[in-house]
Amino acid sequence: MTGTSKAYKIAIGAGLLLLAFTIACRYSPPLADFYAGKLYPGLSAILSWVSSPFPFSLQDLTIVILVSGALVALVVAIVRRRGWKRILRDGLTFLLWMYVWVYMGWCVNYSRSGLLTRIGSVPAQYEKEAFETFLMQFTEELNASWTDSPAAGSKETEAEIKALCKETEAGIKAFYKRVPDIYGLATPRPWQHPKPMMFNALYSSIGVHGYIGPLFSESHLNKDLLPVEYPFTFAHEYVHLLGVSNEAEANWWAFQACRASADPAVRYSGYARILVHVWINAAGVLPEEEFGAWRDALRPEVLADLGMCQAHWNALRSPVIDKIHSRIYDLFLKGNQIPSGIKNYSEVVLLLLSLDNLDEED
């Protein structure tokens, strides 16, 4: 038996063992919770430390290199007539390790227990009176949080965005560091900073504001974000990096982090971005007349900011590509134990109805 074949068998064996672990986590929440609480924090710290010296997305570059290399290897194998069995073997090995890397790097978190389960709470049942009370309180706080600072207006210069990023990052990280262990977040690390997207225009065309990179524990933010969107999006993507996979939970955490801030612009960002999901829920449960009355209770400036954000992304969006992406992402979420798919984002309202403000709990 050659050294190469031994190394190959070891690689396959290790890959299959890790694959079995990720599959087992899908059917065993306690095992997934063990990963999220004991394994992921260390893995994430190491991977993000490795990628931290690079100002660009190491994940995006790695994917380009690996996919390009795989295509070149396939062409070479065909030209040299190495045989389809070897091509198939190498291809399956490549896919095995990519899957294992992605899931061990972060995606096993999809299988962990939900936020309410972790803290021993239960989801609130929908009651019209309770929802209307929440809506009234939220609207009052939203209107009061509005600020005419640059963060609520048009796009700023790159230097101003970087300054905003630095200040926002420090505040958001400080908030997440204060979160009690029962909530199950990994520890924020000083070397973890948001990175730009390699294919920013493509992501803007499908309305992606940010995403988590599981290969090297990197959070990515879209450079086309408006200042009013930036704090909330950073907080959302960063808590993904801390082990939260559920989009509703990530929205809840981002809202908590933003409204706990001493910076008025950051607080308003939290309310303004959650408004999108509150709007969807209100439109779905309130009679038309009541919904119209609630909408009229919003400050004109808030409605103007909402319209500004929608117009901004509509101008960048490609309807055809966006539709394809939405369908694929919806299937991805449903395949990773998020039954509601993309609608999960707006399920943050259920968490807001079920849980009090985190600072008030503390």
Q: Amino acid identity of 90?
A: D
* Contact call for residues 305 and 275 (beta carbons, < 8 A): no
* Contact call for residues 105 and 47 (beta carbons, < 8 A): yes
User: Which pair of structure tokens corresponds to residue 94?
Assistant: 């490549």
Query: How far is residue 97 CA from its own chain's centroid?
Result: 23
Give me the helix-helix angle, 58-79 and 40-51, nearest 10°. Answer: 80
The 10s digit of each residue's pLDDT in 65-87 is 988 887 887 787 777 766 677 77
The 10s digit of each residue's pLDDT in 201-240 is 999 999 999 999 999 999 999 999 998 999 999 999 999 9
* Contact call for residues 345 and 314 (beta carbons, < 8 A): no
Residues of the chain with pLDDT under 50: 1, 151-154, 358-362
Q: What percent of the chain has pLDDT over 70?
A: 87
Neighbours of 274 (CB within 10 A): 23
Q: What percent of the chain has pLDDT over 90?
A: 61
> What pLDDT does residue 128 have?
81
* CA–CA distance, 307 with 314 (Å, rounded to integer): 10
Q: Amino acid identity of 292?
A: G
